[in-house]
Every structure is written in C-alpha cells, then in structure tokens.
Structure 1
Amino acid sequence: MLILFLLILVLVGACVLAVRGVRAEARKAEEPLLVPESFFAPASLEGVLCGQLMDGEITRRQYLRSMEGIAARDEARHPLVVPWHLGAGEE
C-alpha cells in the first residue's frame, strides 16, 4: 500500500511540474497585443455622433436633431417601399 501511495505521489508531482513548465513557456511566448487606434474609430456618421454625445461635445438635443436629419436624408435617398397589394398575413 505504501508503494502505491508513493507512486501516486510521484505521478502527481510530475504532472504539477509539467503544467508549471507549460504555463511558464506560454507567459514567455506571449507578446503584447498592439491594436491600432483606427480600429476603435467610428465607421459611420451615427458612430461619430454617438462618440460626441458620450464625450460631452454635443447635447442630447443636438444629437437627436442630427439623427432626425440623418433619418430624413436616408428616407429621401432610399424610400421604404411597402407592397400594399398584399393583404394582412399574405406573403
């Protein structure tokens, strides 16, 4: 029984040492992640307005008015066409 206990203890010790070595190698190989600032830049006018609102550059009222203008411009450029010839529930 003592031999079995010692064998298990040696195996557990070997596993612990192996895991510690793998973790140490992973820490050494890890390079800092460099993300360019342009990655976080807004890609749309709505994003720019949202950033300005969050930074306090514009007020809530200015934000809403600008979003209304964007919606009106979008409606003029790409009007929504609804197929009125279909009844309710028909496709």
Structure 2
Amino acid sequence: MTDKAVAMLILSLLILVLAAACVLAVRGVRADVAAEEPLIVPEALFAPESLEGVLCAQLMDGEITRRQYLRSMAGIAARDEERHPLTVPGYDD
C-alpha cells in the first residue's frame, strides 16, 4: 500500500469512530432527558365519552354493582329501541 492509501484508511476509520461516538453521546443525552421528565397524560384522554362508558367506569371503580349496571344497560337498550327501532330490509311482519 502506498502512503496515501494508508493515510486515507486511517482518516476513514477516524471519521467512523468519531461518528459512532457522536451517535452514542446523543443517545445518552436523550435517554437522560427522557428519564428525568415523566410522561404526563391528561386524565381527559381516558374520560368516557358515552353513557355506556360512564356506566362501565362506575362498575370498574366499584361505584355501582353488577346488577345496577345490567339494569341501566337494559334501560339504555329499551330507550334506543324506542327512539331508533331496527328494521330488517325485506322482512315484513
């Protein structure tokens, strides 16, 4: 090998080592920042958006019993049936 080829090889290896060191340093800084700042998730993100969701949350929290939940869901189903009855196309009574 010539002197120029050896010099190019050394410079190429040096650049690779420096690039790897920079990548590892940035990863370490990002990991430190992520570890220091806890993830803040707003409670509103998990808030129920429907009556069924509210009832489910109350059941899971122990605010209502299973029987109360079933009774409420039956009432919701009856109300929905009255307001928006389901009809099957092509089926005549």
TM-score (norm 1): 0.67
TM-score (norm 2): 0.66
User: Which stretch shows the higher mean deviation, 33-42 or 74-83?
Assistant: 33-42
**Percentage of matched positions with identical amino acids:** 62
Equivalent in 49, 52, 57 of residue 51 of structure 1? 57
Measured in 1, the distance between the counterparts of 2:56 and 2:20 equals: 50
Match of 1:26 in 2: 30
**What letter corresponds to residue 21 of structure 2 in structure 1?**
L
**What letter corresponds to residue 23 of structure 1 in structure 2?**
R
After superposition, the CA RMSD in angstroms is 3.0
Q: Aligned residues, how many? A: 84
> Deviations 1:34-91 (Å, cap 9, x if unpaired)?
3322222111000100001001111111111110100110111111011125xxxxxx
Measured in 2, the distance between the counterparts of 1:12 and 1:39 equals: 45
- Mapped pair 1:42 → 2:48: yes
Which runs of no fewer than 5 residues in structure 1 stay unpaired?
Answer: 86-91
Equivalent in 78, 88, 93 of residue 82 of structure 1? 88
